[in-house]
């Protein structure tokens, strides 16, 4: 049995195609999870909605507590890190992470940025040692074989590599950089474009994304079966 961590980051509460003004990324992530349940009904699904319930932003107290040695932390430090610890625990337990993350002003939504800031934790998800001058930082999740799927949506179009808006895309590249820093470099991404145009191109983009999700679920589910053998 595997564990899938399902994250939604859209500020829109509903799904497109079901509710007016619903979120495309919630639609895609729900589609992924529905297909996953059908392919692997025994798996555990953990849901985290950082769009509607964003994690607390990092504060000075949080930073102080996170860099203190665990054995030397005072009660207030444990309290300051409690939410972060819960988010890290979820990440560590997950075999597959599927994240619905729309593009807001060329980057990730604030709630997802707060999530990132809470899971990048020295001593838990990355290591740091000042005595290692050439490589003081190292990823701690490298050998855990985690897979990350990014499902995004964009108002405009042309944000893929080598396309005309690629340099303005700070969603997938940012997420890949952060999770790679932790040791998760098996990353797949699927995106919907043309949201602001709301025409046939959007419909085609949604159809293509949903077909790609179905193929990706089959591929990932099969790879987990092979690992279990």
23 is an annotated ligand-binding site residue:
no
Give the CA angle between residues 18, 23, 29 to the nearest 5°. 90
- Read out DSSP for 117-144? HHH--BTTTEEE-TT-SS--EEESSGGG
> 106 among the known binding-site residues?
yes
105 marked among binding-site residues: yes
66 in a labelled binding site: no
| Complete DSSP assignment for 151-205 | EEE-SSS--STTSTTGGG--SHHHHHHHHHHHT--EEEEEEE--TTT-SHHHHHH
Q: Which residues are annotated as a binding site?
A: 10, 103-106
Q: Which residues are annotated as a binding site for FMN?
A: 10, 103-106
């Amino acid at each position: 049995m595997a564990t899938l961590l399902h994250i939604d980051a859209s500020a829109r509460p509903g799904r497109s195609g079901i509710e007016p003004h619903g979120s495309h990324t919630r639609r895609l992530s729900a589609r992924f999870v529905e297909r996953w349940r059908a392919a692997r009904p025994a798996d555990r699904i953990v849901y985290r909605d950082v769009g509607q319930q964003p994690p607390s932003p990092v504060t000075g107290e949080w930073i102080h507590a996170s860099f203190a040695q665990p054995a030397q932390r005072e009660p207030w430090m444990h309290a300051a890190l409690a939410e972060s610890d819960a988010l890290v625990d979820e990440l560590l337990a997950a075999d597959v992470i599927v994240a619905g993350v729309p593009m807001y002003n060329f980057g990730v939504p604030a709630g997802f940025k707060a999530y990132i800031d809470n899971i990048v934790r020295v001593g838990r998800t990355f290591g740091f040692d000042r005595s290692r001058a050439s490589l003081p930082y190292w990823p701690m999740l490298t050998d855990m074989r985690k897979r990350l799927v990014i499902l995004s949506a964009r108002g405009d179009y042309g944000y893929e590599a080598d396309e005309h808006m690629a340099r303005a895309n700070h969603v997938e590249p940012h997420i890949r950089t952060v999770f790679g820093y932790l040791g998760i470099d098996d990353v797949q991404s699927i995106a919907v474009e043309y949201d602001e145009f709301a025409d046939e191109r959007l419909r085609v983009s949604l159809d293509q994304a949903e077909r790609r999700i179905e193929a990706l679920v089959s591929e990932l589910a099969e790879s987990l079966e092979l690992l279990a053998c």
